[in-house]
Structure 1
Amino acid sequence: MRCDWLVRDCRTGDMLTRASSVWVMMNKEKRRLSKIPNEVRGEIGTFFVDSPPVVDEDSRKLLKLDESTADYIRNGLTME
């Protein structure tokens, strides 16, 4: 499944960046990818949107970011 991310400035609402990520499900006992069970699909199915990703595939590498290289750090972020 795919998850699209839109990061906005909490004060202005301006979009700062956007991204798409692809998620898979793994059977942790067999250590292999598996299909999403119907009961799980039923729970998360309302969140699926049939639309193209917000970002086309991009092979650029991201630079390592940590406390010494970040301009700002904010903990406790949650998804809405």
Structure 2
Amino acid sequence: MALRKLGTDPDSKNSGSPTVYLDEETGNYLLQGWKVLDAERLAQMDIPDHETVIEFPQRMVQFFPEVNGGFGEDV
């Protein structure tokens, strides 16, 4: 699997999360973010056992190629 890092949150205090990756083989995005553990929020979703929920800030949308003209932060 060839992953390409598209961008890390410019407001991250530790420069590690959230992050957007592209799987160049499948064309799917992988999102690294904060685990959602709040039971009240999770109860409002229908989450299968094989899935998880992460929180991802709106400011990270800038790293998706569909938004930024096809480039990630490492270009």
TM-score range, shorter chain: under 0.3
Q: Which has the higher helix share?
A: 2
Larger-Rg structure: 1
Q: Point out which structure has higher relative CO (alpha carbons under 8 A, 6+ apart).
A: 2
TM-score normalised by structure 2 residue count: 0.24
TM-score normalised by structure 1 residue count: 0.24
